[in-house]
Structure formats: structure tokens, C-alpha cells
Chains A and B, each alone.
Chain A
Amino acid sequence: MLRHLRTLLVTPLRAHRGRPAALLALLAACTALALIEYTPLTLLQNALFDRMQRLSPRDRSEMPALIVAIDEKSLAALGQWPWPRQTLARLVETIGTGDPLAIGLDMIFPEPDRLGSASLKRLYPQLGRIPLADPDARLAAALAATPSVLGISANKTLLHGNRSALKVTPVISRGGDAGAIANPFAGALASLPALEAAARGQALLNAQEDPALQDPERGVLRRVPLMASVAGLPVAALGPEMLRVALDAPAVEADIRNGRITRVGVDAYRLPTQADGKLILHFGPLRADRIFSAVDVLEGRIPPENFQHRFVLLGFTATGLQDRVVTPLGEMIPGVDVHAQVLESLLSGAALTRPLWLRLAEGALLITLGLGLIAAVPRLPPNFAVKLGLASAILLFLTGYAAFHLGRLLFDSASLVTLLNPVFFILIGNTLVASDQQRRLAEQALQASREAAARVAGELDAARRIQMGLLPDPAQLFAGETRFQVAAYLEAAREVGGDYFDCFMLAPGYLCLCIGDVSGKGLPASLFMAMSKSVASALLRNHPDDLAQALEEVDAALSRDNREMLFVTSFIAVVNVETGMMDYVCAGHDAPWLLRGQTIQRIRVDQIGGPPLCACEGFPYRHAQLTLEPGDRLLLTTDGVTEASNGQAWFGNERLERLLQENTQGDTAAALVEKVKDAVRNFEAGAPPADDLTLLCLEWRGPEARLPSPQTSTST
């Protein structure tokens, strides 16, 4: 059951090297990218963009906007907030004497001053008709005398005290109706009509909606409205409105294209925005050098000249007054500084953008890379595919950082990499599974071939033992023999070989010596060698007195069933061990060496030599005779001696002749064989032998060296 379930789950993943499954994952990735606002990917996206801002925050060395702060020091000196309106009026007037470009009040005065004439006369009716100085009128006068901008706080619902009728300079829309597109609010909390009327401008203060409602933002302020729609009326935010007042322009303007707000600003000072009129603010760090304490300004410690040709924002920095926001840089800054930063951005034209085309490009890149991976990964070796995947991820991140640094564009590489991951892992997983299977198959094949090799080696070893067992041991065979000594040596180039030798008493007093070399080497030659040796030894015994006849019969017998057309060179001698008379035949074999005293000679075969056995069927072989002298040594070799190689040269007949001439005087047959073998092996210097090597040596001591044994004496 469980296995069935597993098969059901795994089979579609494994089909066609995982390509269909990967394609499905790519389709899901495209959907997720299109609807990214509704996925947790926005968290990742925000984290990436915040990281970029931290790596390169906006430069704030220019100081176009200053802040006069209602800070702890001012509250300590002048008493609790709200201050009497006269105090505020004096503050505004003091700033005004410095001739600032505009004064923005990041505060709202919806209720009359508690020390105004109406409330005082309610408390003290005895004041009667005595004219009292009205603090609200006093503030209104100050606002009227300066380039002042008051704030309003917009709300989604019409709360108590909120109004939908406001005295604002509406934003002018170009290419559409900004009031219908911008973030909509039902109404706003605004200041007393008298103050509204006195101020040069009135603007939106909301930098942030309720953080709890903006879950993906996690309470971090990233987007700041440059405008919004309050009761259908397009209203500018404090920054653009102050700029309008400073430039004495008729209105803040909004560019609209295809139903999306694209830019908001005044004259040439415009910033690209999101579709709803929000600016993605490129934050800079909070700078204390542009914040002045209100009490210092009031009491003349800060000369008003400081404010000349600057924007001045009046706002709260005191912790108790709760106007603080968290920026992507991770700082908690007073809300009034956000307005200052908007103003700075407007003047310098600095803004982060994430235009529609960039999102479309991300989609296109996702599809291209996804299809590319699907096409490439199953064809590549896994380690290369992993490197390719890693390289494309790194390339995407580098593109993101480059876009930010060069164009202030927010390219979402994090989401792309995240969405490509499932595609990549489905493909690479399949590749790894496939290569693992191949590896296992290869291991099995290797194991099988090792076993086969071991089996063959075992069989070859057995064949070798059988082949060596076919060869006589002259020392054992002729133990106690005094008339002659026979010694032999045979070593195959491989486990088995095609050389052979034989020695046996053909008849009493007649010693037969054979040496043979089957064409080729190794196993095929060894089979023919075994047959040649048995056929030769059997037929020689049939014709003990006619060597040529015997050889012709051997030739005929071997040729009979020789479809593979192997042939064998052979030299056969029959020696009368009493007289030294030697009868011999040669079938294509190298002439043996005769060592007689100081002289070295080859046995003459030129008159009687025939082709190798089986090479020329029916060849009339002839035999020859020579007489050995006591002490003669006869050495029969195969081409394993002359063709032994040290990599540069062959051992050769000359080298062999010199060796026999100089080093073997008086040696017995056994010593001679040992010496020649050692010389050949030393010459080869450890290199593997090229051919089978066989040496057969007869030392004839002559008739004087009679056997002491009576049995053999009678036979001679």
C-alpha cells in the first residue's frame, strides 16, 4: 500500500527525466510571480530591497530642509504639549524672520486654544466684554505672514471631527484623473478654518497607514504618498506642497499614463511614483546636524539666518509624543524627518522605482531561465548542472544589485531565485538519480567482469599446469645416465604458450630430441602445441628408423584437422648414444648450435630443411646425419631467444654466439641452459617477454662414459 502510494507520487516526478514536473513547477512559479502581492514572497522581496538600501543609503550631505523640533529639551523649558498658540506663533514668526523657502507644520490644530477668549470667558464670566488677545488669531497672523503649510490627517472613514470639505490647493492631473486613482480617503482631520485660511498651503501628513494593517510591510515605512485622494479631491503631501509654496507655483502636478500615476511634483521637480501616487523613498540615515531644538530657536540661540533659503519643518522628536517610524535602514526616526527626506528627494530627483516593465521583464526572465534549465540540466553532467544553477543564481543577484546601483531600479532577484529553485531541484534530482543508477550498473558490470577475469585466470592457471605437465623432466627421466645429459627450459610469454620440447629413448640406445614452435602464442597456440607434441611422439615411435618418413606422417596427421591453419616449426634429432651418430630433420626451424671444443657452429639444414609442418602439405622432407664427438654439446632454441627485446634491439644470433663462445666452455648441459636463460632475461631487463622461450641442450659424453648399471649395459 505504502509502496503503491510512493510509486504514485514519485512516478510523475521521474517521468521524462523530470521535465514535465519541472514545467509544471515553472507554471506555478509564473502564477506566483504574477500574484506576488498575495504570497509570502513579498517578505523576501522587502528584505532584499531593504538590504540594498542598507548597502547604499541615499547621500544626505546636502541640507535643503531643516527641522525645528519639539523635543524633550523644549518641553522641559516651555511646559507640556500642546503649547499655547502664542508660543507657536512666536516660533513661526522667529523662523519667518530668517526668510525660509517654506515652513511646514507637521501638526494639526482642530480645536481652539484652551486659553482662547471663548473658553476663558466660559471659565470666568466676569471677564464680560473685555477684549482679550485670541491665541488662535495670533497664530493665524503668524501663518499668514510666513510661507506656511499646515497639515491634515486623512482617514479611511469619516471619524468624529473629520471633514470632507477642505481648503487645499488640489493637485492638477495630466493625462487622467488623479483623484480617482490615488489612494482614497473618506475625509481628513484639519485645523480650525481660520488657521486653514491663514496658511499659504495645506497638505497631507499621513506617511503611513495603520502598520498593523500593512502586514507585509511589518511596520517598516517603505512607501510614502506624494499625494492621496481625500473625498475625491487630489491632495498633495507636505513635501510637494511646501515645494509648491516655495516656488509660488499654482499647483502640484501629477502625470498619469494608462490609468496609473507615473510622476508627482512641481515644475521640473518630479519623482516617479507607484500607480497610486506613492513614492518608494530611498532613505538616508538620520542626521542630527539639521535638527534644532524649538526652545533654542525661540530664545535666540539659533540665529534665524540659518533658515534662509531653506525649507523648515516644525515637528515632534520627543519620545513621549509618539511620532516615530522605522525605516528600511533599521533606524527609528521621527516622522518629521520622513517629510524632510521627501523634500530632499524631490529636489535631487532621487527615487527608487519598480516600474511595470521591470515586473514584466522579471516574468520573461523567469520563463526564459526556467525553460533553459528544463532544456539544459537533463543533458549536462550533474556537477556541471549544479555549477550552472549556482552561476545563474549569482548572476540574478548581481543583476539585482547592478540595477539598484546604476538605475535605482528594484529588481526582485530573490523571488526569481526562489521560484526557480523547485524547477532546478526537480531536474537535478532526476539527473542525480539517473547517474546513481548508471554508476550502480557500471559497478555491477565491473564486478561481473572481475569475476569472469578471475574465472579465466583460474582456468588459465589450470591449463598452464596441464601444459607444463606434458613436458618431460630430463633430469628425472635420465637420472643415473652417464653417457649424456639433457637439460631443458621452457617459459611461455603468457600463461600458456605454443613452444614445446620432448626427449625420450626412441629405442634402447637411441635418444630422440624434439623442439617445436607453433605459430602465434597464448591459448590458441597451446592447444596446437599439445596436439603436435603427442602426434609427433606417437608417430616417431612408429618409424624409429626413418625420421623423414615419420616427419611426413606427422605433417599429414597435423594437417588433417587444421581449419585454423596453424603451423609448427620443428627440429627433431635421433642420437645413437653409443656412437654419436645423429640423424635429424628440420621443418622450418632455426638451426641448432653445436659447441665442439673451442668452436661454435650451426648444424647445416640448408640442404634438407623443409617448410614448417602444416604449411605445405605433402612436402617431401629429407633427413641428414652428422657424428657427434664426445664432449659435444647440442643447443636447440626457439625464436624466444633471438627475438627477446630490450625495447631497442633484439638479443639476436650474434649476441647468442658470443655468449656461447666466451662463457660456456666446459659447462654441463644444465649450466649452459641456465646461463643462456639468465642472459636473455637480463637482456630484457624486466620487460615482459615477447615470445615463448625454449632451450633444449644435449651434452654427449661419448661411449667411454658407460653406465655402471648392468641393466643398461646389456641394452647397449
Chain B
Amino acid sequence: MELEAVVHPKANLVMVRGRIDHGSSMAFSELLHPHLENCKKGAPPLVLDFAGVDYVSSAGLRALMIATRFAKNQGGRLGIAEFQPLVREVFGISRFDLVIPCFDTLEAALGELA
């Protein structure tokens, strides 16, 4: 599991790679935290690019839920884009797409959030 920040004019774009499961969700939260701190009112939105994410477990969903609340408390905007089909299915079944704004493409995310 790794994170990589990408410079983008309209958003704080973070590429996520690997599995976010019971073992790696803590590490994911810690890596994400510095980006979340910048996600506040008036700042560009934080967009997580999930193209490289193979699997998200319930522990991973919880980490994302906590991140969303953190961003919301700061008045920031957070979204996820570019899902692999299996991961999109997890978000669909658990209806986490109601908890976190989910977008099929990066353009859609930027169009909505930025």
C-alpha cells in the first residue's frame, strides 16, 4: 500500500496503490493524514485516485469514512475517482458511495468538486 501526491492545478491529487485491508488501513490513515490536514475550506479539493487500488476491506472503508468526516469538519472537499470494477462493486454494495463522493473518472471528480 502506498500513496503518491501528484501536482495538479485544480486539486490535491493523491494516487493510491495496493490493498487497503485490515493490515494496511492504519498505514493508509497515517499516510493520508498530511493531505487531509490541507483539505479545508477554501483549499483545492482532495481527490484520491483509486486506479491502483485492488481491494478495500471494511477496515479500509472505515478509514475512508473517518477521512471524510475529518475533511467535512474542516470544510474541505474529498472525493474518490477511477475505480477498479471490484472495488467499485464494494462501494456499491456497501452504499459507501452515499458516504463519500465517488466518481468514475478524474475529470468527473474535478468537474464536481473543483
Contact = CB atoms under 8 A, between A and B. Distances in A.
B65 A567 contact: yes
A609 B62 contact: no
Contact of B99 (A521, A566, A611): A611
Nearest to B55: A643
Contact of A610 (B65, B69, B93, B98): B98
A567 B98 contact: no
Contacts of B65: 565, 567, 615
B41 interface: no
Contacts of A509: none
Q: Which of A521, A567, A589, A615 has the most CB of B within 10 A?
A: A615
Contacts of A583: none
A602 to B, nearest CB: 10
Give the interface size bracket for A toward B: 20 to 34
Given A610-B95, A616-B98, A639 B58 contact: yes
Interface in B47-100: 57-59, 61-62, 65-66, 69, 93-96, 98-99
A567 B95 CA distance: 12
A345 interface: no
B99 A616 contact: yes
A611 B96 contact: yes
B33 interface: no
Interface in A579-605: 587-591
Interface residue SS majority, chain B: helix
A304 interface: no
Nearest to A652: B86
A566 B63 CA distance: 9
B22 interface: yes
A414 to B, nearest CB: 63
Contacts of A567: 58, 61-62, 65
Contact of A612 (B59, B66, B69, B94): B94
Contact of A566 (B62, B69, B93, B95): B62
B22 A611 contact: no
Give the interface size bracket for B toward A: 10 to 19
Nearest to B96: A611
A639 B59 CA distance: 13
Interface string A472-503: 00000000000000000000000000000000
Contacts of B59: 519-521
Interface residue SS majority, chain A: loop
Contact of A517 (B58, B96, B98, B99): B58
A619 interface: yes
A588 B22 contact: no
A590 B62 contact: no
Contacts of A612: 61, 94-96
Contact of B66 (A565, A609, A610, A619): A565
A45 interface: no
Given A520-B22, A567-B65, A611 B58 contact: no
A148 interface: no
B94 A569 contact: yes
Given A520-B22, A521-B22, A565-B69, A611 B95 contact: yes
Given A519-B62, A565-B69, A588-B93, A615 B99 contact: yes
Given A566-B62, A587-B95, A588-B93, 15 more contacts: A518-B58, A519-B62, A565-B66, A588-B94, A588-B95, A589-B94, A591-B93, A611-B95, A612-B61, A612-B96, A615-B65, A615-B98, A619-B98, A639-B58, A691-B57
20 contacts: A517-B58, A518-B58, A519-B59, A520-B22, A521-B59, A565-B69, A567-B58, A567-B65, A569-B94, A588-B93, A588-B94, A589-B93, A591-B93, A609-B95, A611-B99, A612-B61, A612-B95, A615-B61, A616-B99, A643-B57
Interface of B: 22, 57-59, 61-62, 65-66, 69, 93-96, 98-99
Interface of A: 517-521, 565-567, 569, 587-591, 609-612, 615-616, 619, 639, 643, 691
Complex A-B, nearest 10 residue pairs according to Cβ-Cβ distance, in ascending order:
A519-B58, A588-B94, A519-B62, A611-B95, A611-B98, A520-B59, A588-B95, A615-B99, A616-B99, A611-B99
